[in-house]
Amino acid sequence: MAKTAADVLIEGLIDWGVDTVFGLPGDGINGIMEALRTHQEQIRFVQVRHEEAAAFMACGYAKYTGKLGVCLATSGPGGIHLLNGLYDAKLDGQPVLAITGLPFHDLNDTFTQQDVALDRLFMDVAAYNTRVMGPTHVENVTELACRTAIGYRKVAHITFPTDIQDMKADRKMASKRNVAGHVSNVPADSGHLPTEADLQRSAAILNEGKKIAILAGQGALRATDALERAADVLGAPIVKPLLGKAAVPDDSPFTTGGIGLLGTKPSQEALENCDTLLMVGSSFPYIEFLPKPGKAKAIQIDHDPVRIGLRYDVEVGLVGDSRRCLEALLPLLKRKDDRSFLEKAQKGMKDWRELMEKRSSNMEKPMKPQVVAHELGRRLRSDAIVSSDSGTITTWWARHIPAQKGQLYSCSGTLATMACGLPYTIAAQLAHPNRQCVAFVGDGGFSMLMAELATAVKYKLPIVVVVIKNNTLGQIKWEQMVFLGNPEFGVDLQSIDFVKYAEACGAVGVRIEDPKECGSLLDRAINANPSGPVLIEAVVDPFEAPMPAKVTFDQAAKLAESLVRGEPNRSKIVTTQIADRVRELV
């Protein structure tokens, strides 16, 4: 049987090593669905309940495998639903290909049914973005879409008129310059190495520095050993922005953990006090936590030349793969005899860990969310893949679940969207059937895409979903008070019984309310369903604030102002630890 244009698309994806496509059918992509059906031995279609989740899954798949993530949605509404997940991929630099449908090729832009020009809609999100013009166009555009997404770690988009999908891909219909055999699906490594001169200049600066800090982001995730060796030689603490959480394990003697509002005090102090900064694979956006301009000499390693100097005035930019750049740099570095900067950071970390331990061993009721994160972290396997969402939960995840060697961690770093945690976890489990895949999410973020729990049931995925239930959009509540001095507004959530919900989906549901039972219930819950998901509803104190490592006078004053201006939960907030800090500062 002659191939259809959709067959050419799917066979192109298979050539590029794509093994999974996340999506939801519709009449705008039925031709592509048929090609997926006939190729199901080579490529798997994973059906979602909301296309936004498909795009998150494609992004999560890319994050946790390093491979191309692919999502598929129908014309009009289906394609529109993909957008948030595609922006997540764009902003976190993940290779994702979106495939969408269009109306019949000769009815586009005529107010026909589902007539949304998805190529025009996706102009900003996609680095490669095209509309299929005929069956013999497909081979060339599939090749370029995959190559662009993988080569530049960006989003690519192919939109495909529905009738063209099932047309025969007859080479005889090709235009005279579109000759068969002139396109290749061979992937090529885009990693380059910096020049010898730039390596020498970087080494000279690093060898001269007295107090060196290393900032290791998402781009350093595959450079763990080289990072630790560099930290050892330079006597430098490694500070980890959120997406770099797994760049080195948290028990490494060289790391001071996270940075930013949800980071640690020793990390903040290392960046405040360093005279030299080595940035590795990071575009960490919160520049207020970087050294003041002119305070430190900086070297930056990034695979993308455009990102050199994006956040700090650097002396040298080294463009290339983090591990390879570090390995090229290491032989040029001299071991620092003065270890005092690192030792100070290590002492700071000892104190910080004690503070965290205190907060996470508080056995008062209502249960503190830190207790759940801490108890979960202790039970995770060394192969665990742990995803989170945006919210106060990100702080608990960042600070109280220590990354162990071999584990992977991610969330929506730069878009900071809610709702990606569950889809990421589903994608992780599909990509790594034998690893432990866990979502640590809030009740707000989870309820946005909670229908995907049924997806995990359908595909028999033994994921663990920990929902931190505080019946509030916690992060925003605290922002309203602490950043703006406003009483909270519009942040309460209607309570949902997530245990019943899990059971209704066919999953196992477990509730934890008493901190004293948290560990034993987690033990039981984690292994309660080997052939499907377990949802753990952890009911926590809604008044536990995500404390910045150093509370500023301004933040304290704003919180006091919000209380005076009629904060409805004033009487509860005055008894919390953040209120204690306010009293100390104001």
List the one residue from 74, 394, 417, 470 that touches Mg ion (CB under 5 A): 470
Nearer Cβ to ligand TPP (185/362): 362
> Is 143 exposed, middle or buried (CB count within 10 Å of its CB: 0-12, 13-18, 19+)?
middle
List the one residue from 246, 329, 473, 556 that touches ligand TPP (CB under 6 A): 473
- Are 101 and 74 within 8 A, CB to CB? yes
DSSP summary character for residue 4: B
- State the binding string over 398-417 for ligand TPP (x if CB under 6 A, else -): ------------------xx
List the one residue from 28, 194, 444, 485 that touches Mg ion (CB under 5 A): 444
**Positions 376 through 395 that interact with ligand TPP (CB under 6 A):** 389-393
**Site membership for Mg ion, residue 546 (CB under 5 A):** no
Q: Dig out the tokens for 70 from the structure.
A: 């692919």
**Site membership for ligand TPP, residue 43 (CB under 6 A):** no
Q: What is the rounded CA–CA span in Å between residue 183 and residue 185? A: 7
Q: Segment contacting Mg ion (CB under 5 A): 17-25, 413-421, 437-445, 554-562?
A: 437-445
- Residue 476, contacted partner among Mg ion, ligand TPP, none, CB below 5-8 A by kind: ligand TPP
- Residue 329 CB, shortest distance to ligand TPP, in Å, is 37
- Are 575 and 493 within 8 A, CB to CB? no
- Residue 418, contacted partner among Mg ion, ligand TPP, none, CB below 5-8 A by kind: ligand TPP
Q: What is the rounded CA–CA span in Å between residue 249 and residue 405? A: 5
Nearer Cβ to ligand TPP (6/538): 538
Among 324, 273, 282, 274, which Cα is nearest to 300's? Answer: 282
Determine the distance from the C-alpha atom of residue 438 to the mean position of all C-alpha atoms in its chain, rounded to a whole number. Answer: 14
Phi first, then psi: what are they for 56, rounded to 5°?
-60, -40
- Residue 349, contacted partner among Mg ion, ligand TPP, none, CB below 5-8 A by kind: none
**Site membership for Mg ion, residue 421 (CB under 5 A):** no
**Site membership for Mg ion, residue 442 (CB under 5 A):** yes
Q: What is the rounded CA–CA span in Å between residue 350 and residue 266? A: 9
- Are 248 and 533 within 8 A, CB to CB? no
Among 281, 215, 245, 224, which Cα is nearest to 440's? Answer: 245
**Site membership for Mg ion, residue 369 (CB under 5 A):** no
**Site membership for Mg ion, residue 474 (CB under 5 A):** yes
- The number of beta carbons lying within 10 Å of the beta carbon of residue 318 is 26
- State the binding string over 434-463 for ligand TPP (x if CB under 6 A, else -): --------xxxx------------------
Q: Segment contacting Mg ion (CB under 5 A): 193-201, 442-450, 502-510, 567-575?
A: 442-450
**Site membership for ligand TPP, residue 480 (CB under 6 A):** no
Nearer Cβ to ligand TPP (255/395): 395
Nearer Cβ to Mg ion (442/462): 442
Q: Dig out the tokens for 245 from the structure.
A: 């959480």
**Positions 273 through 292 that interact with Mg ion (CB under 5 A):** none
DSSP assignment of 210-252: SSEEEEE-GGGTT-HHHHHHHHHHHT-PEEE-GGGTTTS-TT-
Nearer Cβ to ligand TPP (418/547): 418
- Residue 578 CB, shortest distance to Mg ion, in Å, is 17
Strands of 27-165 (E only): list them: 44-47, 69-73, 96-102, 128-131, 155-161
**Site membership for ligand TPP, residue 467 (CB under 6 A):** no
Among 55, 297, 34, which Cα is nearest to 160's? Answer: 34
Q: What is the rounded CA–CA span in Å between residue 25 and residue 14? A: 20
Among 41, 185, 24, which Cα is nearest to 99's? Answer: 24
Summarize as ranges the residues that interact with ligand TPP (CB under 6 A): 389-393, 416-418, 442-445, 468, 470, 472-476
Summarize as ranges the residues that interact with Mg ion (CB under 5 A): 442-444, 470, 474
